[in-house]
Amino acid sequence: EDKVVQSPLSLVVHEGDTVTLNCSYEVTNFRSLLWYKQEKKAPTFLFMLTSSGIEKKSGRLSSILDKKELSSILNITATQTGDSAIYLCAVVDTGNQFYFGTGTSLTVIP
Amino acid sequence: GAVVSQHPSRVICKSGTSVKIECRSLDFQATTMFWYRQFPKQSLMLMATSNEGSKATYEQGVEKDKFLINHASLTLSTLTVTSAHPEDSSFYICSARGRGTDTQYFGPGTRLTVL
C-alpha cells in the first residue's frame, strides 16, 4: 500500500530555533515529492524534489530528497511566528496520483 | 490511517458534457470536505468547503453553478463540473476532515481532460 508518513505530528519551538521536518514514503513508481505550507486556505507550494541529494532553498527554508532512504526533510532556520502552520508532504507517482502525508503542525512561540 | 479515495482517477470528456467526481472517506466520518484545483507550478486553489448536510461554501471567483458540490453523507462528497470546457481541464483534489480535528486527509486526485 502506497503511503506517506510525516514526523513529528506536531512541534512547538521558540522563535529563532531551527526545525527539521521529516517525510518518508512508500510509493511505487515515484515521480516527485512536494512540500506545502498550509495556513488558512489552500496549501501553498514550497518545493518540488525529483532528484536525490540536490538541496532546494528558498530563504530560511530548504529541503532535500534521499531516494535511497525514501525520505525528505524540510529545514526551517531562524523560525518566526509566521512560520506557524501545517507542513504537508506529498508524493506524486508516474500516474499523477498524489499521496499526501497528514502533515506536521508547527507552532512557533515568541 | 485515514483513507480518502477519489473516483475516477482520470476522465476524458467532450466539451459541453458534465462530469461527476466522487470523494469518499473510507474509514472515518468526514464532517467537512474540501475541493481543490491544481494550477501550474504545483499550486493548489481551494474551490469550496462543504459540510455534511449543508450547502457548500465557495471561494471567491469559483462559479457555484458550474462546479456543483454535494455532501450528502458523512463519507461522500461529489463535485460535478457542468457543461465542461477545455479550460476546466485540470487536476482536482479533495480532502476530508473529521469532527473535532484539524487534520485533513487528501485524496489521490482526479485528472480531468475536456476535449
- Taking only the tens place, the pLDDT of each residue in B48-104 is 999 888 889 999 999 999 999 998 889 999 999 999 999 999 999 999 988 887 788
Min Cα–Cα distance to chain A from B15, Å: 23
Judged by a CB distance cut-off of 8 A, whether residue B26 touches chain A is no
User: What are the pLDDT digits (tens) for B16-58?
Assistant: 999 999 999 998 999 999 999 987 767 788 899 998 888 899 9
If you search the block for the grid coordinates 505550507, which residue do you land on? A37
Alpha-carbon distances, residue B8 vs A80, B23, B75, B77, B78 (angstroms): 41, 9, 16, 13, 11
- Mean pLDDT across the stretch A23-28? 95
Tell me whether residues B46 and A105 touch, CB distance under 8 A: no
Residues of A in contact with B105 (CB under 8 A): 100, 102
CB neighbour burial string for B62-73, b if at least 16 within 10 angstroms, e if fewer: beeeebbbebee
Strand partners, B20: B80
Q: Which helix (H) or strand (E) holds B75?
A: none
Judged by a CB distance cut-off of 8 A, whether residue B28 touches chain A is no
Q: Which of B91, B102, B106 sits opposite A100 (nearest CB)?
A: B106
Average pLDDT of chain A, as a whole number: 93
User: What are the pLDDT digits (tens) for A57-108?
Assistant: 999 999 999 999 999 999 999 999 999 999 999 998 888 788 889 899 999 9
Alpha-carbon distances, residue B106 vs A33, A108, B42 (angstroms): 15, 25, 15
d(CA A4, CA B19): 29
Average pLDDT of chain B, as a whole number: 91
d(CA B26, CA A46): 29
